[in-house]
Amino acid sequence: MKKNSPTIRDVAAAAGVSVATVSKYINGAQRFSAPVEAKLKVAIEALGYRSNPLARSMITGRTRTIGLTILDISNPHFTNVVKGANRVALRHDYTLLLVDTDENQARERPLIEALAQRVDGLIVSSRMPDEETHWMLDLNKPLVLLRRSETLPIPSVGIDNRLTTYMLARHLLNLGHRQIAYLGFGQAPRINDERIRGARECLEEAGLTLDVYDAHAPTSHAGEHACSRVMLGPRRPQAVICYNDLIALGFMKEAASLGLKLPQDVSVTGIDNVPYGEFASPALTTVDIQSEKMGELAMQKLIDALAGHPDTEHSMFEPRLIVRESTAACG
């Protein structure tokens, strides 16, 4: 168990050539004479030489690493984003430096700034309001945001949030519901506001209003907690549109234990189409927001930018309504 691995100089010595030759050989930069190539092969094999990526990065300025910050890896939406991003990264010989900020806003900036120094580019999912995001431009690294920035010229991928809830509201309207509530997550203001707006617009077209509640967290636990407040309050809804699937799942579980029959007593919808909505009881009606594709595209954009083909646009995926059993005609 010797501690120090051989360097390029050891190889050069062993093969009787110069370090430059070894370097070029390793990087496949050109062709070599048969004898040199043979000696190189032998020496490298014998020494078990592997080039030091740190030293290389110091010079080339590239690490073949992409930084990815997400809010919570436990949320299947982000899990899928990571999955997609990882797949594309691996295909292009990049590795992911992952930071899970754990829904902790205060942490985001220092973590991202530290991360930026160790990677070639970043994919960032943040809860920071646009106004406080200018410093990201000073990172001097290619960046892709996982939601549009209204004010900054940073490429991004996302979903049409307004449309997700518009579609859900329309769906519920079609089923005959009139009393519709939205159970949101106010700490994600931009997304949440857009979603409220979508539902509200749809309902207003029908002359109805939207009751808005807040779950305080994007988790199933928060959904459970909020359920009695929504369902046993003074304005009991016939249908509830939840900020995401996790909240919806928790909501449904708690509703059942409150003695409510689903979906007869209340229709429930989520957003995200996490893989487990279909195993719930009743299976969850939701909107697919293409999480994995978002991860893939974000990574692809970044890699394109790194290759000199930047893309400053915001790419918007189209939401798709997935109707299952948690929504039914209003009794």
Partner DNA sequence: GTGAAAGCGCTAACAT
Partner DNA sequence: ATGTTAGCGCTTTCAC
- Does residue number 65 form part of the binding site for its own copies (CB under 8 A)? yes
Binding partner of 102, given its own copies, DNA, none, CB within 5-8 angstroms per partner class:
its own copies
Sequence-separated (6 or more) residues with CB below 8 Å from residue 23: 8, 29
* Integer angstrom CA distances of residue 138 from 112, 120, 305: 12, 14, 17
Q: Which of residues 14-43 bind DNA (CB under 7 A)?
A: 16-21, 23-24, 26-27, 29-33, 35-37
Tokens at 297, concatenated: 């595209």
Q: Which of residues 13-52 bind its own copies (CB under 8 A)?
A: 48, 50, 52
Q: What is the DSSP secondary-structure string of 144-191?
A: EESS--SSS---EEEE-HHHHHHHHHHHHHHTT--SEEEEE-TTSHHH
Residue 308 burial by Cβ neighbours in a 10 Å radius (0-12, 13-18, 19+): exposed
Instruction: Kindly state the DSSP code that residue 285 receives in the 8-state scheme.
Output: B
Binding partner of 20, given its own copies, DNA, none, CB within 5-8 angstroms per partner class:
DNA
Binding partner of 99, given its own copies, DNA, none, CB within 5-8 angstroms per partner class:
its own copies
Q: Looking at beta carbons only, is 31 or 235 nearer to DNA?
A: 31
Q: Minimum CB separation from its own copies for residue 114, in Å?
A: 8
Spatial contact of 294 and 316, defined as CB atoms under 8 Å apart:
no
Tokens at 69, concatenated: 């910050």
Which residues bind to its own copies, rule: CB under 8 A?
1-3, 5, 48, 50, 52-55, 57-58, 63, 65, 73-74, 76, 79-80, 82-83, 86-87, 90, 95-100, 102, 111, 113-115, 117-118, 137-138, 140, 220, 249-250, 252-253, 275-276, 278-282
Q: Which residues bind DNA (CB under 7 A)?
A: 4, 7-9, 16-21, 23-24, 26-27, 29-33, 35-37, 51-52, 55-56, 58-60
